[in-house]
Chain A
Amino acid sequence: MEKLSAFPFDSGAQWRIIRPSRIPPILMTIMAASASREFQAGVLALAPLLVGVIPFGMIYGALALSQGLSPAAALAMSSILFAGSAQFLFCQLLGMGAPVTVMVAEVGLLNLRHALYSAAVAPRIAHLHRRWKLALAYLLTDEAYAVIARREAADDTGPYRHWFYLGAGLALWGGWQLSTAAGVVLGARLPADWPLDFALPLTFIAIVVPLIRNRTLLAVAAVSGIVALLAAGLPFKLGLLVAALAGMAVGWRLAGGVR
């Protein structure tokens, strides 16, 4: 039992040299409880998304092997890239024999959307230690961001909400690694007539549709979709790149262009 003199408020001089071990146990307990409550809330908020992530991860594992990746490389990619749609694209491009520059450019463009999530999260975690920022940046995916944005819309208070972000991010990370491993192990034994790959478009429909809140965003979606169909014949799936750029250009123009 610590003596009361360790309490931070009893002396003007003492609070300055306070270290975590000097924080009174009761305060530590309250802090830990809030942090762990936030963490659990993050895990729970993300859980429904795992319904889409698990089949998606299994399909990715099987696809990676069929396109010539070794099981070790297929598993490692889930940690190195940690981006489902980009991992899919990577495997497809690998199977087509796309040049390295095309692969890096397309993965980069497809993942450019994460810059938006980064910008949205940045002011909320500006006060945290660098280690936290690196970890949360690594864990910033569509799914985690969708959950974080919903929480922030409902309640943007709470000094421990970075624990919520961490909970959501780690829940997705764990689900992704496990389902990828399942896909690698099961590989070709997954029944070919199960349309598990449909989890990819369904997950993105669930994420994109609520984002389309005004006419500008609807126009962006329409242009991207139409250009994606028109440009589908381009080699190495470059149509995806062209369509995404066309959509962004339309949005930029409608939002005022050069000012």
Chain B
Amino acid sequence: MSIWLVMALCGAVTFLIRLSFIAAEGRIAFPSGFRRVLPFVPVAALTALVIPELLMPQGTLWLAWDNARLIAGLAAIVIAATTRSVLWTLVGGFVVLGVWLS
């Protein structure tokens, strides 16, 4: 199958997800179970994406002080929890990573 077709499919799925509730507002009622699971979706999906990046940067579990990505990630979590600032989280995470790698 052409790569463009696969891209179009993925793009259509993504757009329809984003449009779902906006288009359905006032017309279709979604099942309550679906609505109840919604608040957990971003946390579930994004945590599943982030944790292996920190603990398995090279494909296997690496729980040690010299894993710079783990240390920088933990620092970023603390900064994000205290400041709630995206900018400081990014800057702090990159600074700790740079310091730890040097």
The residues of A with any CB-CB pair to B shorter than 8 Å are 48-49, 51-52, 69, 73, 76-77, 80-83, 85-86, 90, 94, 100, 103-104, 107-119, 121-123, 125-126, 133-134, 136-138, 140, 142, 146, 195, 198-212, 216-217, 220-221, 223-229, 232, 239-240, 243-248, 250-252, 255-256, 258-259
The 4 closest A-B pairs by CB, nearest first: A247-B44, A251-B40, A243-B48, A209-B80
B37 within 8 A of A: yes
- 29 CB-based A-B contacts, threshold 8 Å: A49-B86, A69-B3, A80-B7, A82-B11, A94-B3, A100-B1, A108-B17, A110-B49, A112-B17, A113-B45, A114-B14, A114-B17, A115-B41, A122-B21, A201-B49, A202-B94, A205-B93, A206-B90, A208-B46, A211-B43, A216-B40, A220-B40, A221-B47, A225-B50, A229-B61, A247-B45, A247-B47, A247-B48, A252-B36
B-chain residues with CB within 8 Å of residue A199 when the two chains form the complex = 90, 94
| A54–chain B nearest beta-carbon distance, Å | 10
| A221–chain B nearest beta-carbon distance, Å | 4
Number of B residues near A (Cβ < 8 Å) is: 66
| B14 and A224 within 8 A (CB) | no
| B4 and A118 within 8 A (CB) | no
Which secondary structure characterizes the binding site on chain B? helix
Which secondary structure characterizes the binding site on chain A? helix
A-chain residues with CB within 8 Å of residue B94 when the two chains form the complex = 198-199, 202
| A205 and B43 within 8 A (CB) | no
| B69 and A240 within 8 A (CB) | no
Contact with A along B32-61 (1 / 0, CB 8 A): 110111111111111111111111100101
A201 to B41, CA, bound (A): 17
| B54 and A258 within 8 A (CB) | no
B99 within 8 A of A: no
| B22 and A208 within 8 A (CB) | no
